[in-house]
Amino acid sequence: LEERKSAQAEESYVAGLYAKGLNKILEKVGEEANETILAAKDHQGSEETKNQVIHETADLWFHTLVMLSYMDLKPEQVLEELEKRFNISGIAEQASRQT
């Protein structure tokens, strides 16, 4: 994704998103989140609906990675935060955010 920042918008979907700015990227994240929710809601246990949930989740994760990259954040930073959360109980983690 970092390499795409300097690519021509006409040559790369990601470069096109970067060129349109953060609001467009956030719009895509929201759109993909909604599509993921709808796919999950419609999931009936069939291979088709499982694949739809996987497809939409991949789109959501991809556009979230684009957002992070646009803001010069690394996926590793998010993974570090998740690791911190898994090292303490959920109740303790929530309490730490309230203070």
Q: Where are the domains of the chain?
A: 3-73
pLDDT for 2: 81
pLDDT digits (tens, 9 = 90+) for 53-74: 999 999 999 999 999 999 999 9
With beta carbons less than 8 A apart as the criterion, state whether 56 and 39 touch. yes
Q: Which two tokens mark 58?
A: 């991949």
Distant-in-sequence contacts of 69-74, Cβ < 8 A, 24+ apart: 69/1, 69/2, 69/5, 70/17, 70/18, 70/22, 70/25, 71/22
pLDDT for 92: 64
CATH level 2 (architecture), domain 3-73: Orthogonal Bundle (1.10)
pLDDT for 48: 93
With beta carbons less than 8 A apart as the criterion, state whether 66 and 17 touch. yes
Give me the residues of the chain with pLDDT under 70, please.
Answer: 88-94, 99
Distance CA 2, CA 75 (A): 12
pLDDT for 89: 65
Q: Which two tokens mark 3?
A: 């390499």
pLDDT for 93: 59
pLDDT for 91: 66
